[in-house]
Amino acid sequence: MAKYVQEIGEVSKVKLHGHIDASIAPELMNEMKDLIARKDEIKKLVFFADELEYVASAGIRAVVFAKQKIGANVQVYLVGASDVILDVFKLTGIDKFLTIQDKFEG
């Protein structure tokens, strides 16, 4: 059972949660690879981050990987991230490539 990917379909949902440090991030990256393998089904990719407490570069890389591989036509969302988490995405400049929302509005 996937730890992060909740649903793969037209609107694919990934629930980021807890601490995603370098010891944990390989699990997220593996799930991103499984998700990308079905990228033809996906029109929107939503990362829910309301329960994400910590993310370092290894976790950011998994999001960048997904954004790079999923195709330019797929809109990628980051939803519900706290100011602390948003700060990390802004530090790396990744926020510019994501649609940031407090609640998923589609």
Partner 1 sequence: MMYCKEFSTGREVLPQILNEITEIITMYFKDPVIINRLKIAVEEILVNIFDYSGSDKVYVSCGYLEYENALRMEFVDEGELYNPLEKDTEVDINDEIDDRQIGGLGIFLYTTIMDEMAYNSDDGKNHLIAVKKLQ
Query: Where on the chain is the footprint of partner 1 (CB under 8 A)?
Result: 19, 21-23, 54, 56-58, 60-61, 64-65, 67-68, 83-84, 87-88, 91-94, 97
**Of residues 41 and 87, the one with the C-beta less far from partner 1:** 87
Q: Is there a contact between 67 and 98 (Cβ–Cβ < 8 Å)? A: yes
Q: Is there a contact between 106 and 83 (Cβ–Cβ < 8 Å)? A: no
Distance CA 43, CA 40 (A): 8
CB of 104 to partner 1, least distance (A): 21
CB of 30 to partner 1, least distance (A): 15
Adjacent-strand bridge partners of 15: 48
